[in-house]
Amino acid sequence: MTGSRSALPGTHVTGHAPCWGDPDFAVADSRWKTGKDLVAICEPVLYVCGGCPFRAACIKQVVPAKNEFDGVCGGRIWLNGVIVHALPDADPSELPPPVIRKSCGTAAGSRAHRRAVEQQCPRCEPFYQPGPNPLDAEDDAQQLELPNVA
Ligand SMILES: [Zn+2]
């Protein structure tokens, strides 16, 4: 069964990708509640992105960070436009090129690149630190609900 992915405009390049039309890649909101649900749907199909020559083109077309995309795009699983899981060979060079900002060359500049899910510019590279994974935040929330065993 193949579904149509009509929600994404201008996807002619990735129309040739092996994932094209698979509803497990652009996942309908009705199919999941938490990020873990989403990963459970997407993780089994993420391997399809392995070695896919369209990964950079896919990210360029879907613009997942800006569109708060949920699903698989370019070898990564996105939750509200944030990468929560990636193939081991997912390479930063597949992300959009960095926008140069006044804050470049500082930790804030590096964070700005990270928030935009773009490459780090050379001046920000030394300041790069991975951001928090929203899935970890879900874990923390669940832990807070556990009874306090003193
Ligand atoms: Zn920079």
pLDDT tens, position by position, for the chain (150 residues)?
444 444 444 444 556 677 878 889 989 999 999 999 999 999 999 999 998 999 999 999 999 999 999 999 999 999 999 999 999 999 999 999 999 999 999 999 999 999 999 999 999 999 999 888 989 888 776 666 656 565
Q: How far is the CA of 28 from the centre of ligand 1 (A)?
A: 34
Ligand 1 center from residue 111 Cα (angstroms): 9
Domain borders along the chain are 1-90, 97-130
List residues, by chain if needed, whose CB lies under 5 Å from ion ligand 1: 104, 109, 121, 124
* Stretch (H or E) spanning 82: strand 82-86
Three-state SS for 24?
A: coil
CA of 15 to the centre of ligand 1 (A): 32
Rounded CA-CA distance 68/55 in Å is 18
Ligand 1 center to residue 131 CA distance, Å?
16
Ligand 1 center from residue 60 Cα (angstroms): 19
Between the CA of 67 and the centroid of ligand 1 the distance, in Å, is 22
**pLDDT at residue number 61:** 92
Whole-number pLDDT of residue 83: 95
How far apart are the CA of 66 and the centre of ligand 1, in A? 18
- Measure the CA–CA gap between 110 and 128, rounded to whole angstroms: 6
> What is the model's pLDDT at position 8?
46
Q: What is the predicted pLDDT for the residue at 4? A: 42
Pair 87, 46: CB distance under 8 Å: yes
Largest CA distance in the chain: 58
Specify the pLDDT at position 3.
Answer: 42
132 CA to centre of ligand 1 in angstroms? 19
Euclidean distance between CA atoms 149 and 66, whole angstroms: 42
